[in-house]
Amino acid sequence: MSKLHLVMGGRVKDPQTLEFEDLGSIDIVGVFPDFASAENAWRGAAQRTVDDAEMRYVIVHLHRLLEPDLPQTQ
């Protein structure tokens, strides 16, 4: 199975948490086949909103959700 990674982000209630204000307005950047390409997309999205402390982008390791017993590598 591919090691799928989701890059997404949005406005958070508190910049130190991942509690998004409005789940309907989450920005789905995309799904990527490896961590390196996901990280590149994450950097681009995060850089566009660098001046807005309430915007947060994350990389979600979808492969870990789909197969939690796999070894924990990126």
The answer for residues whose C-beta is within 8 angstroms of residue 34's C-beta and 6 or more apart is 2, 3, 5
Q: Which two tokens stand for residue 56?
A: 């947060």
Domain tally for the chain? 1
- The reported pLDDT for the residue numbered 30 is 97
42 is a domain residue: yes
57 is a domain residue: yes
The whole-angstrom separation of Cα 60 and Cα 5 is 6
DSSP 27-60: EEEEEESSHHHHHHHHHHHHHHTTT-TTEEEEEE
- The reported pLDDT for the residue numbered 59 is 96
- The reported pLDDT for the residue numbered 31 is 96
71 is a domain residue: no
- The reported pLDDT for the residue numbered 15 is 87
pTM of the model: 0.83
73 is a domain residue: no
pLDDT tens for residues 20-65?
999 999 999 999 999 999 999 999 999 999 999 899 999 999 887 8
The whole-angstrom separation of Cα 29 and Cα 42 is 8
pLDDT tens for residues 8-20?
999 999 988 889 9
